[in-house]
Chain A
Amino acid sequence: MRAWTTLRALMGHWRRHPVECLTLLAGLAVATALWSGVQALNAEARASYARSAALLGTGSLASVVAEDGGRFAREDFVALRLLGWPVTPLLDGRLTRDGESLRIIGVDPITLPASASALRIGEGDERLTDFLLPPHLALAAPETLARLGAPADLPPLAASETLPPDTLVVDIGVAERLLDAEGRVSRLLLPPERAGEPLPAPLAARLRIQPEDAESDLDRLTASFHLNLAAFGFLAFVVGLFIVYSAIGLAFEQRKPMIRTLRACGVSARLLTGAMLAETIGFALLGGALGIVAGYGIAAALLPDVAASLEGLYGATLPGRLSLDPAWWLAGMALCLAGALAAAGGSLWRAARLPVLAPAQPQAWLADQRRGMRRQLVAAALLAAGSLAALALGSGLAAGFAVLGGLLVSAALALPALLASVLAFGHRRARRPVAEWAWADGRQQLSGLSLALMALLLALAVNLGVGTMVESFRRTFDAYLDQRLVSELYVTGRDGAEARDIAAWAAARPEVAAVLPIWRAESRFRDWPLEIYAFADHASYRDNWPLVAGLPDAWDRVAAGEAVLVSEQMARRFGLGPGDRLTLPTPGGGWEVGLAAVYRDFGNPEAQVMVSREAFALHWPEGDHRRMGLRAAPEAVPGLAAALAASFGLGDEQIVDQRALKALSLRIFEKTFAITIALNALTLLVAGVALLTSLLALSDLRLLQLAPLWALGLTRAQLALLEMGKLLGLAALTACAALPLGLAVAWVLTAVVNVRAFGWRLPVEFLPGQWGRLFVLALLCAFVAALWPIWRLRRASPLTLLQGFSNER
């Protein structure tokens, strides 16, 4: 009963201050919404990867794979079965048709173990018979089924709920035909209890056992993308907590007289703290629930962009719908509760220790914040030192984010002291009384606004940093496409023979300056997916190819078959450089070769090497020989394309104009960064809300502070203008501080995080136009946030202002 009475007395404060109550709830909801929204997206993506991984059996089954990671002969499977190994073959690959990529998984349903549940054909003997016998049934997810319809070039399709999108499970014989991989297998699934046994001697030289708990390729490839998303979500959560901390701190200070009265009336410190704790938990549960609902909405809205990003970056496909996992709800609530308790911790501690007879100090919270400025500076220095240490000593993506986090938080902590010193300088230089007051008042107001300004600084700096990175990337990518897409027309024959005919036909055409074959094969290098490209030695490559580093005679060495070119991400991932030697897996065994140069490759996340046409023909005779580039004058391209189509009956997918390809690449690029830009905008929005809520929470106090000036002869319009000017000034100063910080963020992103996450480094471009836009955006954000509180001041009735002079106050 006592507890209830105490709680009711405390809660009465929120009834009298509904704006503060809404501020607190908004802070909790916003913080939880962005965090849980991002977590929902990550969870959905990971669940999708897990389904893909389950298909390959990597979740519960071990695998026998080739030492070089590539496909191997079916005879090895037969040999193992004859030796009593309970293995089942699996052929995995991608089929491109009509410009779309389908994953084909070939299985042998007779030997498939029960634990590969996602691959089970299921539903009785009839379906199994249809699967095994011509025309052979293919299984696909319902959405894939709906999209594909009944294509003539594929077996009849049947629905399977357990499959991920854009994946077909077929009999292994059908897969061999579709993937043009007669007699080959990708891996042999093996029960985990046999994973510890050594492979028989003749096979152990070229095969090895991969344990069942190994990560899937998609998990590894996309880890950095999801870490990026999580980092953004966490940043938004921290910015949201700024609002919560500010609201709880202000409420504590306003309730101090009430807390003393309650203590004087016999409420124990323990009961009081307990009641305040219950109040905080109540707010956290309510705000968290609102945040989770909003988070679901955000996740659902962002899912198409995330799916586009993952498709563009990694070729990973996500379903178009969001599923609800109870663990996600609980995690969101738990984080909201933890955040609320962290934000309220200081106030709870002070409430428990508040002396009953201490004089009331309505400005104590603000004064305490001023004292805290020095402590903040020390913390900022320590964090900056930690960030530098992580930069110098750390490795890996987590250390990269530690550098970024340390940089951002230390700058945010140092901001109030920086602003205070600028305002103090302005105060010293001011000559007119109103200006003098405005500078001095700005310093005093700073303590109440510093948290919101810190949030604004973080949002602006991250926007600037990420914006600079994306724009630098866009420009570099544009130039890169010009370098990489050296041919005016790209042609793909239906098979190798037709490609040879096309090449001969093209070579005879007067408008074709050169025919450049582009051959391709897939393999694995040190357990990573590897693409091998073959190219013709031609000035088009020598003059244009975007080399990052190389030996002086790199092209000659590659042309002579002594060396290869390696993509930047492969070089960084495996610590390779020009002059090194590496062993590439080929169907005929390892090929030891030199590394002549490293080239830039933004096109895919996998390792890639480029070899001479002759070396490719020697080592990958079974490779894909269908593609070529044709050099021609741009004005001759439409006629050439038409002639090709007429002569060989080629479709649009087989004849690709360089300009169309470039436009498509740029479109994929834009989609890839859509999610980043959306989260950026949301973070800035949260900072704007933080500023608005701080101003609203302080507005009653501000009216009382401004009332004497009104009494001394300043009009409400003048005061409103001064208030707006001060806030815009503070926002402008914060934006000025955000500029160097944002550039530092851009540098860390491009030189540290990107290199560790994606394996390539970008040149940073300085974009003053973008700085100007962000500066205006900061002012706009402050202007919008200040409009309502300042309109209230402008419209404040004399009665409200007179409360400042009321004797009975």
Chain B
Amino acid sequence: MLEVASVSKSYATALGPLAVLDGVTLALSPGRSLALTGESGSGKSTLLHLIAGLDAVDAGRIRVGPAEVTAMGDAGRSALRREAIGLVFQQFNLIPSLDVAANLAFQARLAGRHDPDWQAALTRRLGLEDLRARYPEALSGGQQQRVAIGRALAGRPGLILADEPTGNLDEATGDAVLDLMLELVAASGASLLMVTHSTRLAARLDAQAVLRQGRIAR
């Protein structure tokens, strides 16, 4: 489902170029989950952003399913995100002008893959039935993250990319949200790449990789 081969990325800083990723290679099979851990600044989020096509690599190759992300232009990468990838962020990043129901359906409708039955099942399973008419600003952090997970899964993408999805939640809420995410990802048949600081949470996924100073340490 996902292949990352020899990917490098650096950013220009006042002190010269700063290498964030240096020849990273990893793979993720369909239906499997992988936790990416590492210290702050090790390049976890950058790698996730490159896989999602939010940023461009300096060198190397990334393939999501049959699509080679690194060969695509901006429009192609946007289409890939719309149709093949579900994103979950630490900051939730819901659309503040839309209510919960519209947020949940947004990406699926954008991709032309809106399935009312699947959305109803997701809404029920995520415990959002009574919150459908609310706006994001009226939700707690845990509720917002549940909406974000629902939005990522509503279009049944092949790959879910989650960047510290429980980082802004307390431990109990974070555990509950992760349980839900893993269960729903498994039910949808998608692959999951999750960035996390926590080795405890990482241990709950099928496989783990550690990034250190821009390289895969193990």
Contact = CB atoms under 8 A, between A and B. Distances in A.
Contacts of A709: 95
Interface stretch (A433-441, A599-607, A754-762): A433-441
Interface stretch (B26-34, B104-112, B175-183, B200-208): B104-112
Interface stretch (A310-318, A655-663, A798-806): A798-806
Interface in A437-465: 437, 440-441, 443-444
B97 A441 contact: yes
Contacts of B81: 711-713
A710 B49 CA distance: 12
B101 to A, nearest CB: 11
Chain B interface size, under 10 / 10 to 19 / 20 to 34 / 35 or more: 35 or more
A712 B87 contact: yes
B93 interface: yes
A363 interface: yes
Nearest to B106: A433
Contacts of B59: none
B162 to A, nearest CB: 12
A337 interface: no
B78 A798 contact: no
B110 A712 contact: yes
Interface stretch (B50-58, B63-71, B123-131): B50-58
Contact of A806 (B45, B78, B80, B95): B45
B164 interface: yes
Interface string A775-809: 00000000000000000000000110110111111
B137 interface: yes
A262 B72 CA distance: 48
A589 interface: no
B98 A437 contact: yes
A440 B98 CA distance: 6
A717 B78 CA distance: 11
Contacts of A717: 74-75
Nearest to A442: B97
Interface residues of A, number: 34
B79 A713 contact: yes
A715 interface: yes
Contact of B95 (A432, A437, A716): A437
Nearest to B74: A715
A368 to B, nearest CB: 13
Contact of B78 (A437, A707, A713, A807): A713
Contact of A804 (B55, B79, B93): B93
Contact of B137 (A363, A714, A718): A363
Contact of A807 (B55, B95, B163): B163
B45 A440 contact: no
Nearest to B92: A708
B82 A807 contact: no
Contacts of B91: 804-805, 807, 809
B174 interface: no
A115 interface: no
Interface in B3-59: 11, 40, 45, 49, 52, 54-56
B60 interface: no
A712 B97 contact: no
B102 interface: yes
A623 to B, nearest CB: 76
Contacts of A707: 93
A358 to B, nearest CB: 15
Contacts of B149: none
Contacts of A129: none
A705 interface: yes
Contact of B97 (A433, A440, A711, A799): A440
Contacts of B137: 363, 367
Given A799-B11, A802-B55, A807-B164, A714 B97 contact: no
Interface string B109-142: 1110000000000000000000000000100000
B167 A436 contact: no
Contact of A444 (B45, B54, B78, B97): B97
Nearest to B49: A802
A806 B82 CA distance: 20
Interface in A698-724: 705, 707-718
Interface of B: 11, 40, 45, 49, 52, 54-56, 74-75, 78-83, 87, 89-91, 93-98, 102, 105-107, 109-111, 137, 151, 163-164, 167
